[in-house]
């Protein structure tokens, strides 16, 4: 594989190698425009022109056979009046009416789709495009776009009739494998080997709580067998992960693997023992984060020898790490609250209330009274309030009394049913071999300047290098994790008895795994 990195000889060769399994190549010494211009026919590019320049590193996206696109209503833009809109919460006739499409023309559209598509249940993000003859306002073309691979189109025939059909978007799913080193900025890490947006989400879904990309450390290695979806040979998204491995930089730590498994009654991502978290259960609020301090109602202050209860469980994670609702419920508090700092409280249907304290900031668009779903984003790890460093103080209460949140059995695992074990073992063996066959990625260049997008609070001494506070939206599919990390002693020697550090929201220095100071954690009673 290294030979191919050497440069530009025969992109055609590359294309044919792509027919094999390994299909993502970082290619050095190429001019940036090549990165996007490369197509199977790209052997026509002049390789010599790149010799003089030595850009840091350029990447090739997967080589895909781009097909000619079908006719689209927007193609009429030059000659017709083209109106576009989102459905939002409107009916189709309501939406078209608001866009001043004449009623008789709306009727023509609806009639054309008789037996082709029903517009009964529009989704907010569904879109429409309509092309009208200028002056007469007669509809010449209409499209209803559910997603990049689901588009319905009506087009005026020579006889002036509207004919409707679902467009064949030439959707293709293709399995391929790739590997990359985790750098300071996670998104850049995978972009470097040509992987594309949406990857974080599928990786987190695949780990299903075992860990998350947020917990990946700089220098770690990710290997994945992925299924990508294309339409007319253009990338649409990652459909799923078939198998995945994360290898931490510390060789004494075990590599984690995940697999997609479909059998009778099981259709989910599982770990290397075939287990998966119960869908109905409680999930960890910070996937992959270690417990750094346990619930301890009788905690003694090591210096003052007084009882300083620790009414929650601390998860160590860098500032900016996403925090998710542990279970569905209703938000009963969002805002600063004394020593808790920025706090979210959620009331759950089973009489349990959970609290998420010291957040650097809250998730956009949530407010008190909102329903919230299991694993929905509530905010980001921080160090606000009385806290000695970034971590999540996670509390649980029943009947007004704090109890140990770990009693909720966060991410409790379901075993693979015995009837499926042989099938899983066979599939696992196949994918394990495939994972092992993936060539190691090129190591990151040591002299690479730090990426400017690396988040201030994201990486540093602590080691969880993915400085990814800024890319939370992509991480929304992240899963919970079992609090499998080492439980650090409460009795951190750093018993800073002062009022605690009031960290700037979002700007705190990450100190992952930092045993929280004593007074810093004491949230006795004040969450109320």
Q: Which of residues 502-521 bind Zn ion (CB under 5 A)?
A: 521
Which of 131, 523 has the CB closer to Zn ion?
523
Q: Should residue 312 be labelled a site residue for Zn ion when binding is judged by CB under 5 A?
A: yes
Return all residues near 526 (Cβ < 8 A) that are at least 6 apart. 337, 338, 339, 340
- Nearest approach, Cβ of 195 to Zn ion (angstroms)? 37
Task: Assign 408 to helix, strand or coil.
Answer: helix
Is residue 301 exposed (0-12), middle (13-18) or buried (19+ Cβ within 10 Å)? Answer: middle
* Contact flags string 346-385 toward Zn ion, x per CB under 5 A: ----------------------------------------
User: Based on CB atoms, which residue is closest to Zn ion, 214 or 314?
Assistant: 314
CB closer to Zn ion, 24 vs 508? 508
- From the list 267, 137, 151, the residue with the least C-alpha distance to 205 is 267
Task: Dump strand ranges (E) for 28-74.
Answer: 58-59
**CA distance linking residue 522 with residue 407, whole number of Å:** 20
Give the residue with the Cβ less far from Zn ion, 312 or 470: 312
Residue closer to Zn ion (CB basis): 142 or 295: 295
H or E segment to which residue 263 belongs? strand 256-263
H or E segment to which residue 35 belongs? helix 32-37
Shortest Cβ distance from residue 516 to Zn ion (Å)? 6
Nearer to Zn ion, 312 or 500 (CB): 312
Count of C-beta atoms within a 10 Å radius of residue 286: 29
Residue among 314, 420, 442, 506 that touches Zn ion (CB under 5 A): 314
Note whether 195 and 441 are within 8 A (CB): no
Least distance in angstroms from the C-beta of 382 to Zn ion? 13
Distance between CA 200 and CA 183 in Å, rounded? 14
Size of the site for Zn ion (CB under 5 A): 4
**Shortest separation between residue 314's beta carbon and Zn ion, angstroms:** 4
**Which helix (H) or strand (E) covers residue 430, if one does?**
helix 421-437
Torsion angle of C-alpha atoms 59, 65, 69, 70, degrees rounded to 10: -150
Cβ at position 387, least distance to Zn ion in Å:
8
- Of 385 and 462, CB closest to Zn ion: 385
Query: x/- string (CB under 5 A) for Zn ion, residues 269-308?
Result: ----------------------------------------
Shortest spacing between CB 393 and Zn ion, in angstroms: 3
CB of 332 to Zn ion, least distance (A): 20
Among 80, 393, 428, 512, binds Zn ion (CB under 5 A): 393
Site of interaction with Zn ion (CB under 5 A): 312, 314, 393, 521
């Amino acid at each position: 594989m290294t030979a191919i990195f050497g440069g530009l000889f025969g992109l055609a060769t590359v294309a044919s190698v792509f027919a094999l399994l390994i299909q993502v190549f970082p290619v050095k010494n190429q001019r940036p425009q090549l990165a996007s211009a490369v197509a199977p026919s790209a052997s026509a590019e002049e390789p010599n022109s790149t010799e003089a320049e030595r850009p840091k590193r350029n990447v090739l996206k997967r080589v895909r056979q781009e097909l000619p696109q079908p006719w689209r209503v927007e193609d009429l833009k030059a000659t017709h009046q083209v109106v576009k809109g989102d459905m939002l919460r409107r009916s189709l006739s309501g939406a078209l009416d608001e866009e001043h499409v004449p009623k008789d023309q709306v009727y023509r559209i609806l009639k054309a789709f008789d037996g082709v598509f029903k517009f009964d249940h529009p989704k907010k993000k569904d879109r429409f495009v309509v092309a009208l003859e200028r002056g007469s306002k007669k509809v010449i073309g209409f499209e209803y776009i559910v997603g990049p691979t689901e588009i319905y189109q009506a087009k005026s025939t020579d006889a002036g009739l509207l004919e409707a059909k679902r467009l064949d978007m030439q959707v293709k799913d293709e399995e391929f494998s790739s590997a990359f080193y985790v750098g300071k900025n996670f998104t850049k890490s995978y972009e470097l080997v040509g992987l594309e947006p949406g990857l974080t989400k599928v990786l987190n879904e695949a780990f299903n709580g075992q860990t998350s990309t947020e917990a990946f450390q700089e220098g770690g290695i990710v290997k994945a067998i992925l299924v990508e979806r294309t339409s007319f040979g253009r990338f649409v998204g990652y459909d799923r992960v078939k198998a995945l491995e994360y290898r931490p930089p510390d060789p004494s730590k075990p590599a984690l693997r995940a697999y997609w498994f479909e059998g009778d009654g099981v259709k989910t991502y599982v770990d290397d023992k075939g287990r998966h978290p119960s869908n109905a259960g409680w999930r960890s609020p910070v996937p992959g984060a270690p417990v750094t301090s346990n619930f301890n109602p009788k905690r003694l202050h090591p210096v003052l020898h007084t009882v300083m209860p620790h009414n929650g469980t601390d998860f160590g994670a860098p500032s900016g790490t996403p925090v998710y609702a542990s279970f569905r419920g209703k938000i009963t508090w969002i805002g600063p609250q004394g020593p808790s700092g920025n706090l979210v409280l959620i009331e759950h249907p089973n009489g349990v209330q959970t609290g998420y304290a010291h957040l650097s900031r809250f998730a956009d668009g949530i407010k008190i009274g909102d329903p919230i779903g299991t694993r929905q984003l509530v905010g980001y790890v921080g160090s606000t309030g009385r806290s000695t460093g970034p971590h999540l103080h996670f509390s649980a209460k029943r009947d007004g009394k704090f109890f140990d949140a770990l009693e909720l059995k966060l991410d409790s695992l379901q075993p693979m049913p015995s009837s499926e074990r042989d099938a899983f073992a066979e599939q696992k063996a196949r994918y394990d071999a495939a994972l092992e066959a993936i060539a190691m990625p090129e190591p990151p260049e040591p002299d690479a300047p730090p990426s400017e997008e690396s988040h201030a609070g994201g990486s540093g001494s602590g080691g969880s290098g993915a400085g990814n506070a800024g890319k939370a939206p992509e991480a929304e599919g992240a899963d919970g994790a079992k609090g499998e990390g080492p439980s650090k002693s409460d009795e951190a020697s750093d018993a800073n008895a002062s009022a605690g550090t009031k960290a700037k929201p979002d700007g705190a220095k990450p100190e992952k795994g930092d045993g929280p100071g004593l007074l810093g954690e004491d949230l006795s009673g004040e969450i109320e």
